Every structure is written in C-alpha cells, then in structure tokens.
Amino acid sequence: MSRQYNMYNVQLSEFWKQRCDKETMHNAPYLFDGDSEDVTSTAPSRAPSQLSTTSTATREKIEELTKKLEQERRKREEVEQMLASFQDASRK
C-alpha cells in the first residue's frame, strides 16, 4: 500500500512541476526594444510547433485511412452484388 501511495505522490509532484513550468513559460514577459513600435518584426520566428506537425500528420493519416475504407467499401459492394446475382441465378 505504501508503494502505491508513494507512486501517487511522485506522479502528482511531477504533474505540478510540469504545470508550474508551463505557466511560467506562458507568463514570462516579452523582451522587446522600448523604441520599437512593430512588435511582430522583433518577435523571433518560430518553427512549426510539434502540435501542428502532429495534427498535420494525423490529418494525412485520417485521409489515407478514409481512402482505404472507401476502397474496401467498393470491393464489399461488388462482392455483395456478385453474391446477389449468384443467389438469383440459383433460385431460377
């Protein structure tokens, strides 16, 4: 029981540590020149975030799987039509 309780405390403290780090990162003040009026020109350019890269990859995977699903659906419908025609032929 004490081992489970210890693991819970470790996980909880890790959660709070990560949360505090994220809040600190988002609440940090921007360091810009005082005489610069165009804030966007002094902001550092950022590479695509991991989230956007992941969501793009996920979107592409979903499109690929949707295409495969449509192909399988067409094959199934063809087989069902063939089966129906065989059943009709056997009934006559």
pLDDT tens-digit series, residues 22-54? 888 877 666 555 555 544 444 455 555 555 666
DSSP states of 51-62: HHHHHHHHHHHH
C-alpha dihedral (5, 8, 9, 11), degrees to nearest 10: 160
When pLDDT is cut at 50, 70 and 90, the band that residue 63 belongs to is: very high
Predicted model pTM: 0.40
How much is the mean pLDDT over the chain?
78
